[in-house]
Amino acid sequence: MARRPGKNFLFVPGPTNVPERVLRAMVVSQEDHRSPIFPELTKPLYEGLKKVFKTTEGQVFIFPSSGTGGWEAALTNTLAPGDKVLTARFGQFSHLWTDMAQRLGLDVQIQEEEWGTGAHEEKIEEALVADKNHEIKAVMVVHNETATGVTSNIGAIRKAIDAAKHPALLFVDSVSGLGSIDFRFDEWKVDCAVSGSQKGLMLPAGLGFVCVSQRALGLRKNAGLNKVYFDFQDHINTNPSGYFPYTPATPLLHGLKEALACIEDEGLENIFRRHHILAEATRKAVAAWGLKVCAKEPRWHSDTVSAILAPEGIDAAKIIRHAYDRYNLALGAGLSKVAGRVFRIGHIGDLNELMLLGAIAGAEMSMLDNGVKIKAGSGVGAAQDYLRDNPIEPQAAAPKAA
């Protein structure tokens, strides 16, 4: 295959672009992960991740896995076979987590929601109020559903659980939310929060993170689901001294150290604002094309990914393939129920205005090449106008402690 000049424009909602300084940090010689100095690398990572989760009380675990491993760790360390859990299913990833819970032997009560919406807090409250005997042990919610570009309101779900006066645990998948859109572990009284390295944390795939409340940790002795690789106890025994119960993904840990430094340098609130501005610019482009995003209402809009509905009679998969073959642009594919109906622009991670405009331009050209009746430059122009009126001007990050 002939060389393609320039770089591939990576605009899927994960894996995301990795900053150059993080890439360089991972180019390390192999080392002894049981050496006396290894804890100098690992111990600060837990404190750095706690800042991103916004917790002081939660305990963070790092697994050599994807976010899917984090799902399994959260469930198997806190629940027992036959336990009833409540979940909303409204996209491919909420479906996959539901499927895992069922395959592990949990009794899953599913609230089916229209794809393009998210978890409805009022329905969750209603189900918990009806559960007079408190048989439901946990509520599982996907914070940001990348398949449809939908974000659920976790703060509102916590209020619903509290309003129902129900003791259920709150489990949240924030794989494509953490480090990009606001997440408040302590304030929202989350019990298990799951994330992964390849999204807002701007690393390659390969690390799964679980932040666990003290209440959830206290349940592990009665958790009867089988576990070995994902057993919290093995990590509790080894992590305080800076080590892992098995071989860790050492280069990724070096990358995580640098990625956390990137996040601290920019500041979390600045990162959230940047993602919102880039997302709004994308939505302005979609409107200028005369198209719609999959999210049914603004309340569901995701600031990390826009799933864009192709016009009737147009195969979105062809737009995606042509963008890759002709313009070296990687767009996200439609999954499951929306396969062939949407293409996705991921606006997550290490991005700025000009990078986003390149993706919008590439998507626009691919649509034109595939017979979509839009005006050339319309989406780019609308995004430019918005970005010029809403500059990304980060406030200075808080000074580091001496």
**Residue whose C-alpha is closest to residue 143's, from 121, 116, 174, 117:** 174
Query: Please, are residues 198 and 205 in contact by the beta-carbon 8 Å criterion?
Result: yes
DSSP 284-304: HHHHHTT-EESSSSGGGB-SS
Query: Please, are residues 348 and 13 in contact by the beta-carbon 8 Å criterion?
Result: yes
**Residue whose C-alpha is closest to residue 323's, from 351, 357, 364:** 364
Residue 34 marked as a ligand binder: no
State the DSSP code for 239. Answer: G
How far, in Å, CA of 398 to CA of 383, rounded? 31
- Environment class of residue 9 by beta-carbon count within 10 Å: exposed (0-12), middle (13-18) or buried (19+)? buried
Tokens of 255: 């990358």
How far, in Å, CA of 38 to CA of 26, rounded? 15
* CA dihedral for 212, 215, 219, 221, sign (positive or negative): positive
How far, in Å, CA of 398 to CA of 381, rounded? 35
Q: Report in angstroms the alpha-carbon separations of 199 from 91, 169, 181, 207.
A: 18, 25, 11, 11
Q: Report in angstroms the alpha-carbon separations of 355 from 17, 56, 283, 286.
A: 11, 35, 16, 17
Long-range Cβ contact pairs of 151-154 (< 8 A, separation 24 or more): 151/118, 151/177, 151/181, 151/300, 151/301, 151/302, 151/303, 151/304, 152/88, 152/118, 152/119, 152/300, 153/118, 153/119, 153/121, 153/299, 154/183, 154/184, 154/188, 154/190
Binding-site sequence positions: 344
**Would you list which residues are annotated within the binding site for substrate?**
344
